[in-house]
Amino acid sequence: MSGIETRTDTGRGRAAVFDVDGTLVDTNHLHVVTWWEAFRRAERLVPTHAIHRAIGLGSDDLVAHLLGKAPAVSPDEAEDLSTAHKVLYAQYFERLTALPDAGRLLRRLADDGWTIVLATSAGDDELAALRRAIDADDAITATASADDVTEGKPAPEPVERALELAGVPAERAVFVGDTVWDMRAGRRAGVRCVALLCGGIPRADLEAAGAEAVFDDPADLLASLARSPLA
């Protein structure tokens, strides 16, 4: 589904770029549990609080962040861990749940003239399940997934790719996410950043990473649009 247009009115002048996991869909703790189990099966004991802080990174970066780079972790072991996580997490695909008012928020912004693009570390199969949970494809112009970039967050490439798909410069865009990796990626891409607390990361950490404004969840942001960077 990456990069596939579901609307025809691209390039309308401003873009709202959204992370998906933990921002629009309630998945962060599912990722924590399934990564923990993948590590446990490989006899790698990693505490869940450390895994939580790493959610939002791509699989290779998450493994390196938590276990160290080679030779601490071989490429084969990193690939095996990533595969185990994907298999464990995929069992939840049909049960993923959007966060409150996620779809309504996207539709409201699209109706207000924003081009909506998703920028996520998820691969295409996972992203398809996430989009089904959000159930707002009519509001989404395009997606930039892990399969579309060479470097994931906190590198700016996912956000930059989203801006390319929207046809909008960085100064006309806002990025909404829930992790410090999102905020760092957005700032490096030169866009204004809005953070949501529903991913479980403390407000102070999100602000230190570059969040200009912080809201509880999509419902809170929707109710507070008039006083947000998306006004």
Q: What's this model's pTM, rounded to 2 decimal places?
A: 0.92
Q: For the domain that residue 180 is a member of, what is the CATH number?
A: 3.40.50.1000
Please give the Cα distance from 214 to 103 (Å, whole number).
19
Number of structural domains found in the chain: 2
| Residues lower than pLDDT 50 in the chain | 1-11
| Sign of the alpha-carbon torsion through 173, 106, 223, 53 | negative
Q: 104 lies in a domain? A: yes
Per-residue pLDDT reduced to its tens digit, 143-181: 998 888 889 999 999 999 999 999 999 999 999 999 999
- Check if the beta carbon of residue 118 is closer than 8 Å to that of residue 159: no
> What pLDDT was estimated at residue 121?
86
Q: For the domain that residue 44 is a member of, what is the CATH number?
A: 1.10.150
Are 119 and 72 members of one domain?
no
The β-bridge relationship of strands 173-177 and 15-18 is parallel
Cβ burial, residue 43 (10 Å; 0-12/13-18/19+): exposed
Q: 87 lies in a domain? A: yes
> What pLDDT was estimated at residue 69?
79
> What pLDDT was estimated at residue 72?
86
Are 109 and 80 members of one domain?
no
Stated as kind and residue range, the H or E segment containing 115 is: strand 115-119
Please give the Cα distance from 136 to 184 (Å, whole number).
27
Are 113 and 44 members of one domain?
no
Q: 3 lies in a domain? A: no
Per-residue pLDDT reduced to its tens digit, 83-93: 999 999 999 99
What is the identity of the amino acid at 29?
H
The β-bridge relationship of strands 192-196 and 213-215 is parallel
Cβ burial, residue 37 (10 Å; 0-12/13-18/19+): middle
> What pLDDT was estimated at residue 101?
98
Are 21 and 33 members of one domain?
no
- Two structure tokens written together for 115: 């081009």
> What pLDDT was estimated at residue 149?
87
Q: 1 lies in a domain? A: no
Residue with tokens 């629009």: 24
Are 168 and 116 members of one domain?
yes
Domain span at 60: 28-91
Task: From 41, 75, 91, give the residue that closes a domain.
Answer: 91
